[in-house]
Amino acid sequence: MKIGLHLRHNPHFKKGAKDMMSLAPGIFAWGLMTAVAMVNSGLGIWTSSLMTLTVFAGSAQLATTPLIMAHAPMWVVLATATCVNLRFVVFSIHLRPYMMHLSLKDRLFTGYLTGDLSYVLTVSKFPQASETLEGKNEQLAYLMGTNWINWLSWMSGSFIGIGLTAYIPIEWGLGFAGVLALVGMTCILVNNWLKLLGALVSSIAAIAAYALPLKLNIVVAIACAVMLCLLAESFKKPVIIDKTLHH
């Protein structure tokens, strides 16, 4: 597509790609989880691959997979996917001023690539569409930078997940997919050293206390992480000396 070729040399393209890179691990894990869930639900490798490439929407894929496997009427499947993805109508209306100078083909291609996080990053950085063509191209370059990292992260995670299902015991089922989803959310949230410390401490504590009954190891893990992070946070606060004590 021409739009991807002439914007990739714009400095804002690299900036958008860089900003999206911090979210890429979470997107990768979410794609992995979605792919495992689809194949383990019985959709099959080839159908899951085709759905990943054409639908490119995790929530819609997860929502419609059980309906497809239950042989629900096509209108039910389409209605479900439409309802789940109604937010993209809002995204499209908001982004319309940013890209109305493009051809229909380029707008459709950009719409296919644009995801939740790329939309959020772009409108956060550029709350208003530029009035000039140069400004619009800079904003669009940033959007496309985020889009490509989003697409590559999702597709790589999805196809690795599809490939891994041959080695994942079927009895793990959707419970294992749920664990992968939590890993994805954790990857997105852990964006500084304090959160990383909390994640590491809670993981170690949960494993160390695994023998406790009633899943109490989870409670122990949370308590250890919270206490240690509060202690670490207290060391960051500057000590304020009350000068009135010296008078």
pLDDT at 155 over 80: yes
pLDDT class of 179 with cuts at 50, 70, 90: low
Residue located via tokens 């899951």: 48
d(CA 199, CA 185): 12
Residue located via tokens 């206490």: 227
Tell me which residue of 165, 202, 207, 158 sits closest to 184, measured CA to CA: 158
Asked if residue 114 and residue 183 are part of one domain, the reply reads yes
Label residue 214 left, alpha or beta by phi (over 0 means left) and psi (-120 to 50 means alpha): left
List the domain range (segments joined by +) for residue 97.
2-189
Of 118 and 230, which is predicted with more confidence?
Answer: 118
Q: What is the pLDDT of residues 19-58, one digit of tens each?
A: 999 888 888 888 888 888 888 888 889 999 999 999 998 8
Asked if residue 115 and residue 20 are part of one domain, the reply reads yes
Supply 133's token pair. Answer: 């063509």
- Among 189, 210, 229, which residue terminates a domain? 189
Asked if residue 135 and residue 17 are part of one domain, the reply reads yes
pLDDT at 2 over 70: no
pLDDT at 241 over 50: no
* Rg for the chain, CA atoms, rounded: 23
pLDDT of residue 49: 92
pLDDT of residue 226: 86
Asked if residue 125 and residue 68 are part of one domain, the reply reads yes
pLDDT at 237 over 80: no
Asked if residue 205 and residue 149 are part of one domain, the reply reads no
pLDDT of residue 182: 66
For the chain, the domain total comes to 2
d(CA 105, CA 89): 18
Q: What is the pLDDT of residues 93-132, one digit of tens each?
A: 999 999 998 999 999 999 999 999 999 999 999 999 999 9
Long-range contacts made by residues 74-80, C-beta under 8 angstroms, separation at least 24? none
For the packed helices 74-84 and 58-69, what is the interaxial angle rounded to 10 degrees? Answer: 160
pLDDT of residue 239: 45
pLDDT at 238 over 60: no
Chain-centroid distance of CA 175 in Å reads 20
- Among 173, 189, 205, which residue terminates a domain? 189
DSSP structural state of residue 43: -
- Cβ neighbours for 179, distance < 8 A, ≥ 6 positions apart: none
Of 12 and 6, which is predicted with more confidence?
Answer: 12
Asked if residue 10 and residue 113 are part of one domain, the reply reads yes
Contact 40, 165 (CB under 8 A): yes
**In the predicted model, what is the mean pLDDT of residues 157-180?**
73
pLDDT of residue 158: 92
Note the pTM of the prediction, 2 decimals: 0.71
Supply 13's token pair. Answer: 């393209």
Supply 172's token pair. Answer: 């793990």
**In the predicted model, what is the mean pLDDT of residues 7-22?**
90
- Cβ neighbours for 91, distance < 8 A, ≥ 6 positions apart: 114, 116, 119
Tell me which residue of 190, 100, 95, 183 sits closest to 147, measured CA to CA: 95
Chain-centroid distance of CA 170 in Å reads 25
- Among 160, 189, 218, which residue terminates a domain? 189
Contact 176, 168 (CB under 8 A): yes
pLDDT of residue 110: 92
